[in-house]
Structure 1
Amino acid sequence: MTVSATSPGGLTERRLSWRSLGSLPPWVSGLIGTVLIIAAWWLVSAIFFGPEGAVPSPINVVQELFSDFGSQIYWKAVAATGGAALIGYLWGTLIGLLMAVIVLLLPWTEGVVTQLAVVCSCIPLTAIGPIVTLMTPAGSRGTSIFLAGISVIFTTVVGAILGFRAASQTQLDVISAYGGGRFKQLTKVRLIAALPAILAALKIGAPAAFLGAVLGEYFLSGVDSGVGIQLLAAQADNASVRLWALAITCGAIAGLAYLVIGLLGRLVAPWASGDADAQGVL
């Protein structure tokens, strides 16, 4: 006991052990964190709530998930929400990129454009959702698409503007020396320089778009399919296990969207990933 507390060798070994934990691969650290979270969840459920209380046990939630996987209603809901999220994501990304291009070509518009982007980020979705619902016909998924799109605009605008401004001044001067203007600089230099920042913004925007689409379904009328609709039904029935299963589904789909966009980004711009392999290829 005294050796571990006072011996320099003992202290050195303890420091090395903590350093070794910090040097673990990211996936190992993520796995350890996941196991700890599940263990804490299990303890809270068992001690304070019971297996099917407000915080059900992980086993019950996993069983509910496996049961849902065999249900057509479940997959139809996921497909409906995912489709609305994808449409909103594409529209939001396109609008954000156009706003960033406008700032680049017309610098005097930067104040107005950035303020609009900030408004899109700060406006409460729960406040604007009912207004959009009143403006769209019954049975339409316009609210989900709108909230998904508006959730993406701010990150896309900021990421694209920062990326465009990361272009090499020397390369821009070369374009200008050969008679090229701002648009030629954009197509020949700035777009390539901006890819890393734009891809990072797109990764962040993908989960936000899906969660915005789910929130939009809370305000829909005349629609009977969607993850948000399923959440409302489970809440009305006080089905805590199903609520948790659907919540995990939302988190899993949002994480999968982040991962897929990241993998696509590595294919489109391998130099933007920061991997040693990609840098070695270049």
Structure 2
Amino acid sequence: MTDATFAATPPGATSRRLREFARNFGPVVTVIAALIGLWYLACIPMNAQNSLLLAEREGIAVSPATAAERRDVGGIALAFATPDQALARAFDQDRPRLPTPHQVVTELWDTIVGQKITSKRSLVWHAGITLAPTLLGFLIGSIAGIALAVGIVHSRVMDLSVMPWAIASQTIPILAIAPMIIVVLNSIGIQGVLPKAIISAYLSFFPVTVGMVKGLRAASPSDLDLMRTWNASGLRTLLSLRLPMSLPYLFASLKIAVAAALVGAIVGELPTGAVSGLGARLLAGSYYGQTVQIWSALFGAAIVAALLVAVIAAVERFTLRRMGLA
């Protein structure tokens, strides 16, 4: 660097940037570090029984224990592992009850970066399979939610009749209704992406409906009176006043809806015995006791949801900026 570069740098600028970075990201890094530390600590008692089994197989004597301190595993009374035995084997088991963070990260790296995207072992490929019904269900649910919200705001009858039913629909567990939807649609020959998309739409329409109802009613009484003095029709009021006012509420609800749609698509894969998709990875890991695969699929789903929410947030910033609302 030249003397001019040093002269252009204000004194204390580096330390000021470091303080700003610590102020902005320090709490996040601290919370993440604390969670990782607690995760590692939880692996020790969760994997203690497997640690003891490994120690017995290797011919290592276990500490004596009373009958009350023993557990019957496979017809053999085994004692709890001693702290050193539990600690030595808690973090490197092939099929742990609770995998460690580095095992999950390694599995994510191997299945995302270490595999071709077209490989059936690639988590990216499975995420793409799940993404199709997610986006279709999100689109269906969003359109249905917006349409219901417009009807609820403009019709007293729909407000008193449809809204309670929309709320009641969310009390039905999705794990109970998903197999019913799959079976009914399969009986009439509808298979593939659409049944899972309908389950996604079922979960995603409600937050859009509630958010849009709140947004469409966000216009102040004075603004509505002004539209009446201009003799504006209901459609003109909707397009010129209510919809622009509802956009911040709409985008907030869309972020929730897209995550719910992803959950619906994953749940929709479970009753079908799917062999591809994030739900299939969860099923396969559960069948074969591959807990590391289960956790990597869960984190993969979380990454996909975060990316979808980030895309909607980017569209929100662009749209609101163009409309002068941000």
TM-score band w.r.t. shorter chain = 0.7 to 0.9
Q: 1:210 aligns with which of 251, 262, 271?
A: 262
Q: 1:101 aligns with which of 137, 150, 169?
A: 150
8 Å Cα contact 1:202/1:261 also seen in 2: yes
Using a 3 Å threshold, how does the CA distance of structure 1 residues 204 and 250 change in structure 2: closer, same or farther? same
Residue in 1 aligned with 2:30? 32
Structure ranking higher in helix proportion: 1
* Gapped regions of structure 2 (runs ≥ 5): 1-18, 48-89
- How big is the shift at 1:271? 9.3
Identity level (%): 25
The TM-score with structure 2 as length reference comes to 0.72
Is 2:210 the counterpart of 1:158? yes
1:107 and 1:246 map into 2 onto residues whose CA distance is: 45
* Cα deviation code 1:51-97 (max 9, x no counterpart): 23111111111111111113322322110101111100110010000
Using a 3 Å threshold, how does the CA distance of structure 1 residues 24 and 114 change in structure 2: closer, same or farther? farther
2:249 and 2:26 map into 1 onto residues whose CA distance is: 27
* Gapped regions of structure 1 (runs ≥ 5): 1-19, 273-277
8 Å Cα contact 2:130/2:278 also seen in 1: yes
> Which residue identity is paired with 1:267?
F
Q: Which moved more, 1:186-195 or 1:119-128?
A: 119-128
1:132 and 1:115 map into 2 onto residues whose CA distance is: 22
> Which residue identity is paired with 2:171?
C
1:139 and 1:174 map into 2 onto residues whose CA distance is: 51
8 Å Cα contact 1:61/1:245 also seen in 2: yes
- Runs of 4+ residues deviating >4 angstroms: none
Q: 2:99 aligns with which of 35, 56, 70?
A: 56
Residue in 1 aligned with 2:40? 42
- How big is the shift at 1:203? 1.0
2:209 and 2:162 map into 1 onto residues whose CA distance is: 9
Residue in 2 aligned with 1:188? 240
Residue in 2 aligned with 1:172? 224
Q: Which moved more, 1:162-171 or 1:209-218?
A: 162-171
Residue in 1 aligned with 2:55? none
Using a 3 Å threshold, how does the CA distance of structure 1 residues 108 and 257 change in structure 2: closer, same or farther? same
8 Å Cα contact 1:132/1:142 also seen in 2: no
By relative contact order (CA 8 Å, sep 6+), the higher-ranking structure is: 1
Secondary structure in 2 matching 1:269: helix
> Which residue identity is paired with 2:34?
L
> Which residue identity is paired with 1:130?
P
8 Å Cα contact 1:148/1:212 also seen in 2: yes
1:178 and 1:135 map into 2 onto residues whose CA distance is: 51
8 Å Cα contact 2:46/2:97 also seen in 1: no
- How big is the shift at 1:174? 2.2
1:219 and 1:107 map into 2 onto residues whose CA distance is: 39
The TM-score with structure 1 as length reference comes to 0.82
What RMSD, in angstroms, separates the aligned Cα atoms of the two structures? 2.2
> Which residue identity is paired with 1:193?
M
Residue in 2 aligned with 1:77? 126
